[in-house]
Amino acid sequence: MRRLTVFNHVSLDGYFTDKNNDMSWAHGDDQEWNAFTNENAGRGGELVFGRVTYDMMASYWPTPQAAKSMPEVARAMNESPKVVFSRGLERPEWKNTKLIKRDITEAMRRMKTEPGPDMIIFGSGSIVSQMTDAGLVDEYQIVVNPLVLGSGRTMFEGVRNRTNLELQKSRPFQNGNVILYYAATVAH
């Protein structure tokens, strides 16, 4: 069975976007962090997005600027298979993208049983919330960034069901980021 992982950045006060839905603060350039990012991108997998995050990623990663600033990550992002959940998108333009318009939790249940690489959700708070509520997320990789935003959105807005998590490991970085790896356990 394919695994579904969430990889997201959060501020110390728990927001994954600021009050303007901006996520540009969620970086921490230094040699150690950049090496981790390149290594992580090289692991492959099928990328899963909601429409807002998809549009943001599709507008950046295929550009010459992305290829110049982060060539390994840009290559991985562009070559990886992708899924975008959207009712309004008519046709995805970013190569290797499959569009799913309806019943996203049922689609994800089916995708998890099909052959293929493991899947990872980036950003996409509404998708994270729905997959969390449906018990479909296997692992959460949360990067805590050393800043306080004061307001914004959490990636779990709208979650109705309790989900217990078990810390598997953590890793601090010199830039102050800390990544926490949590396995989802049975809840409710």
pLDDT on residue 144: 96
Extents of the domains making up the chain: 4-184
The Cα-based distances of 51 to 76, 79, 121 in angstroms read 20, 19, 12
pLDDT at 118 over 80: yes
Whether this model's pTM surpasses 0.75: yes
What band does 186 get if pLDDT is binned at 50, 70 and 90?
low
Whose CA is closest to 7, among 19, 30, 23?
A: 23
131-141 tens-digit pLDDT: 999 999 999 99
> Domain 4-184: what homologous superfamily?
Dihydrofolate Reductase, subunit A (3.40.430.10)
Residue 168's H or E segment, with its range, is strand 165-172
Dist. CA 89–CA 75, nearest whole Å = 24
3-state helix, strand, coil in the chain (%, to 5): 30, 25, 45
pLDDT band at 188 (very low <50, low <70, confident <90, very high): very low
Average pLDDT over residues 116-144: 93
**Nearest-angstrom CA–CA distance, 141 and 131:** 15
pLDDT bucket at 21, cuts 50 / 70 / 90: confident
Percent of the chain exceeding pLDDT 90 equals: 71
The predicted-structure confidence for 53-104, as pLDDT tens digits, reads as follows 999 999 999 999 999 988 988 999 999 999 999 999 999 999 999 999 989 9
Longest dimension (CA), the chain: 47
In this structure, are residues 6 and 123 in contact, taking their beta carbons and an 8 Å threshold?
Answer: no
pLDDT for 93 equals 92
Phi, psi of 81 (to 5 degrees): -70, 145
